[in-house]
Structure 1
Amino acid sequence: MHILSKRPSINTQDGDGVKIRRVADFNFLALDPFLMIDELKSDDEQDYIGGFPPHPHRGIETFTYILKGGFEHQDQMGNKKAIKAGDVQWMSTGFGVVHSEMPLADANEGMHGFQIWLNMPASEKLRPAQYQDSTEKPVAEYNLPQGKVRVLAGEFQLHGQHCVGNLNGLAGNGAIADLQLQANVMVSLDAQQEGFLGAYIYKGSVWGAKEGEFVILNAEQVNTLETNNDGAGILLFKGQPIKEKIAHMGPFVMNTQEELQQAVRDYQSGKFGELTL
């Protein structure tokens, strides 16, 4: 194993009181091109029932993955989709998006999912928004001798097997996978690149990191994962750092404070469009 650093998630709230665990770095860009990983996990609907009412974004990409339960996504582009267990959803917000994500009425047995933010390069922050999801073309899933992997975006090399997802084009050549491993097994992960490689442990433990912790790995070397009696659930992340200074304020991520203020003015003047509920 080749761990460069390890960091815990922080308990916080977002949206209308939704309880989450968050790993984020908007200052030193240690996760570049990723900015934030939120995990929502609860069997108590009071922890998530408020959902995420209409709100704007500019300059980032949001990536949602659901393991249990589901949300209804709606945006000003006219998209209205139920994102359920096993689904992913990707929005490249560009110039601006107004959207909401509210718990599905039948999601009454708990919720477990993730929202991931990626930075966009300055040259693309003001281009038209884009939207994709997996409701019509399911997430690519591969069986391994040690478990299975869902390639949510991009591609990965796991235990000598080339695993390719159905969704590509994320900022920073971002790639994301859900690796679900059995107890007491060993798997090799070869990023085959220079750049960023990291993992969020959402079940069990690996590399001495436990549930709710994020590890940054050496992307230029083969990394070995070894589970204990509990097995493990791991989100894998890789990408090419954008290496640009950012300015962050709430749902907006730009490059300067002046651009942030312009984003606020554009949103308030209705240039992002309107969400029709």
Structure 2
Amino acid sequence: MRTMTIERILSASPASDGGGVKLYRIVGPDGMRGLDPFLLLDEFGSESADDYIAGFPPHPHRGFETVTYMLEGRMLHEDHLGHQGLLSSGGVQWMTAGRGVIHSEMPQQESGRMHGLQLWINLPARDKLSDPAYRHLPAEAIPVVTLANGIQVKVIAGAFAEGDTQTLGPVQGLATDPLYLDARLPANTELLVPIPAGHRALVYLIAGRLQVAGQGLIPRRMAVLGAGEGVALQTGEEVAHALVLAARPLGEPVAHYGPFVMNTQEEIRQAIQDYEQGRLVD
């Protein structure tokens, strides 16, 4: 297996979104070039309710998928199609916006820690105006593989292989064939994660210290990986908690404006007009 090397490392930047939720934006409009099909990754996390209590009131999306992963806390999803899901610790909401969704994500707590991540994944041109879809995945619906050395790998999307055993995540059959793994490594352990050939792969460190392809990574940093069929992770004296993400590149032009991701500026103008005139979700 040809292991991947790091092309570059991206750093988080403080930001806010929704009703004023404080977060760290790891990938955004300027950083998404060359990360096809990934568009954005936000991490939100605070003990202070003032940082998250305003939540994400109703807002539109078109042309891509959002993946919200709650590590700690409780947040309610509601959309114009009548979908509703209470996202609690360990759960995932995977939403395909397609031609248009108006949804909200609001905290269901007034104190305590809230911590999670939201990933945006692009859709191919043929699917950008497809019917919206919503998957609610409670923690118990997501398999966790525990290796002999104590490493735990939570398989949200795609597959994780250990020897002759393959574990499939509950999210399958999407256009970009995504891999979404939550890996927790004890101190002084190693993990080789197979990556489908041709996929763009990223490793984002949530906590601890981690060697990725032989280079050190600290929290709120993302390693962008080059070509290969696997990524090597290794810890020293500290434990590590990381996301391993991969997906098939689309190789299509990207036009982005706020909550809309299309292929051309004309399509962006149409999305804005549709939203303003109440046609986005027709």
Tell me the TM-score normalised to structure 2 length. 0.91
Measure, in 1, the Cα distance between the counterparts of 2:130 and 2:230.
37
Q: Which residues of 2 match residues 41-120 of structure 1 at below 5 A? A: 41-105=45-109, 108-120=111-123
Measure, in 2, the Cα distance between the counterparts of 1:136 and 1:201.
21
Query: Could you tell me how far 1:228 is from its partner in structure 2?
Result: 2.1
Farther-moved stretch of structure 1 (170-179 vs 121-130): 170-179
Is 1:234 aligned to 2:242, yes or no?
Answer: yes
Structure-2 residue corresponding to 1:257? 265
Q: Which amino acid counterpart does residue 225 of structure 1 have in structure 2?
A: L
Residue 254 of structure 2, aligned match among 228, 246, 258: 246
Query: Could you tell me how far 1:158 is from its partner in structure 2?
Result: 5.1
Measure, in 1, the Cα distance between the counterparts of 2:51 and 2:187.
30
Query: Could you tell me how far 1:77 is from its partner in structure 2?
Result: 0.8
Structure-1 residue corresponding to 2:37? 33
Q: Which amino acid counterpart does residue 122 of structure 1 have in structure 2?
A: A
RMSD between superposed Cα atoms in Å: 1.9
Is 1:224 aligned to 2:228, yes or no?
Answer: no
Farther-moved stretch of structure 1 (56-65 vs 226-235): 226-235
Measure, in 2, the Cα distance between the counterparts of 1:123 and 1:217.
27
Measure, in 2, the Cα distance between the counterparts of 1:234 and 1:160.
24
Aligned residues: 273
Query: Could you tell me how far 1:219 is from its partner in structure 2?
Result: 4.4
Residue 126 of structure 2, aligned match among 111, 119, 123: 123
Q: Secondary structure at the match of 1:172?
A: coil
Is 1:152 aligned to 2:156, yes or no?
Answer: yes
Measure, in 2, the Cα distance between the counterparts of 1:36 and 1:13.
14
Percent of paired sites with the same residue: 38
Q: Which amino acid counterpart does residue 272 of structure 2 have in structure 1?
A: V
Question: Is the Cα–Cα contact under 8 Å of residues 159 and 189 in structure 1 kept in the other structure?
Answer: no
Residue 197 of structure 1, aligned match among 182, 192, 201: 201
Question: Is the Cα–Cα contact under 8 Å of residues 33 and 174 in structure 1 kept in the other structure?
Answer: no
Query: Could you tell me how far 1:159 is from its partner in structure 2?
Result: 7.0
Question: Is the Cα–Cα contact under 8 Å of residues 60 and 125 in structure 1 kept in the other structure?
Answer: yes
Structure-2 residue corresponding to 1:269? 277
Question: Is the Cα–Cα contact under 8 Å of residues 90 and 138 in structure 2 kept in the other structure?
Answer: no
Question: Is the Cα–Cα contact under 8 Å of residues 271 and 280 in structure 2 kept in the other structure?
Answer: no
Measure, in 2, the Cα distance between the counterparts of 1:21 and 1:158.
33
Measure, in 2, the Cα distance between the counterparts of 1:104 and 1:32.
34
Question: Is the Cα–Cα contact under 8 Å of residues 204 and 221 in structure 2 kept in the other structure?
Answer: yes
Structure-1 residue corresponding to 2:135? 132
Structure-1 residue corresponding to 2:7? 4
| Structure 1 residues without counterparts, runs of 5 or longer | none
Measure, in 2, the Cα distance between the counterparts of 1:171 and 1:101.
25
Q: Which residues of 2 match residues 168-187 of structure 1 at below 5 A? A: 168-187=172-191
Encode CA deviations 1:117-150: one digit per residue, 9 max, x unaligned: 0011111101110111113961111112232111
Tell me the TM-score normalised to structure 1 length. 0.93
